[in-house]
Amino acid sequence: MTEITPSENDIFEIIRTKLNLSDSAVIMKEPILKDTRGIVRPDMLIEDGNRRFLVEIKSKINVDAIAHLILQKEILQKQDKYDTNTHLVIAAKFIAPDIEKIAGQVGVQLLTIPRNMRLPDHKTAPASGKVKVTSEKSWKIVSRLLKEKMTSIRQLSIIEGISYGWAHATVQSLISQGIVTKKGNYVTISDVNKLLNGISWERPFENLLVKEINVEYNDATAAARELSHMLDNSGIKFAFTGYTAGGLYTGYAVRHDSIYIYLEKYEIDLFTKTFQTSETAEDKGIKVRIYVPDRNVFYDAVEKEGIKVVSPAQTLLDLAGMGYSGMDITKAMVDKYGTL
């Protein structure tokens, strides 16, 4: 059995208390779910006697988190492993009222955990022999293939400066999943939807979210433009992403109450102290959703309409990682990607 991490153990103790579990309750690490992409694990699987709890652990719950858990339930049902003693649970730091209503309708129990608690770093495990397509090197190959439409593995390797072996392994993994087809020496992405769904499972964008604050602006674009100017002049590493970047690249109409930005972790406190609205106006203005990057997203950032945004490839990866909630703009990004 894989060793339990300290952060998992801390959250387990809170869950054990809130669910009134016995002292014999344990975290199970063996995989119990399999789908067409390979092994699928809940963030935490707890067994207490004949009861079993599938637990997702989030900073803030969204509809995708609930859908993810319901999908696990459906897989279990198909494998005849789901019964009345199996329970669905999401533990989170923040729970919105509308999410509580949805969770209650589909039989998902919600628990709150302390805001300062460190969350375990969970990722869906790919099947044996499968390449993680959202890794930095593999995503260069995948995004280039999206751009070129049809090309050879060797050309993908040369253009992106990735070893032929790595490019070959990435493409072969996609072929085995029915995402890419090969004709002679040429390959092409034949199932974009399956690719996008796989990305949302493998690299959920919201896992990178560390903070959301309000800033005193009335327009999201104006806020992004002014913040971009001030941060650039201050020499701070940053780049806008998500809906902010996607809207600029595609012209797609997006929500105007939030902007999405990558900052280095050590810059977040200064950013917050400088730009956050006062407590009396905390519900006013534009929301800034702050993410910490899991790779170098700054080196190839570009300026569009006075706003520094991550590259088209990074924007597409982040949008796809939003899952169902960002699907419309993600598909718009895919449609236009070859021209960016």
What is the third-level CATH fold of 136-202?
Arc Repressor Mutant, subunit A (1.10.10)
What is the third-level CATH fold of 205-328?
Beta Polymerase; domain 2 (3.30.460)
Domain boundaries, the chain: 6-112, 136-202, 205-328
Q: Return mean pLDDT, the chain.
A: 84
Side-chain-side CA neighbours of 104 within 13 Å: the count stands at 7
Query: How do residues 191-207 score in pLDDT, each as one tens digit?
Result: 988 898 889 888 999 89
Query: How do residues 239-281 score in pLDDT, each as one tens digit?
Result: 999 999 999 998 876 667 889 999 999 999 999 999 988 654 5
Q: How far is CA 239 from the centre of its chain?
A: 17
User: Which residues does 15 contact at the CB level (< 8 Å), separation at least 6?
Assistant: 21, 44, 46, 53, 55, 89, 91, 111
Which whole number is the average pLDDT over 42-46? 83
Which whole number is the average pLDDT over 135-164? 90
Topology agreement, domain 136-202 and domain 205-328: no
Note the pTM of the prediction, 2 decimals: 0.62
For 6-112, the fitting CATH number among 3.30.565.10, 3.40.1350.10, 3.30.300.10, 3.90.245.10 is 3.40.1350.10
Q: Which residues pair with 152 in a beta bridge?
A: 186
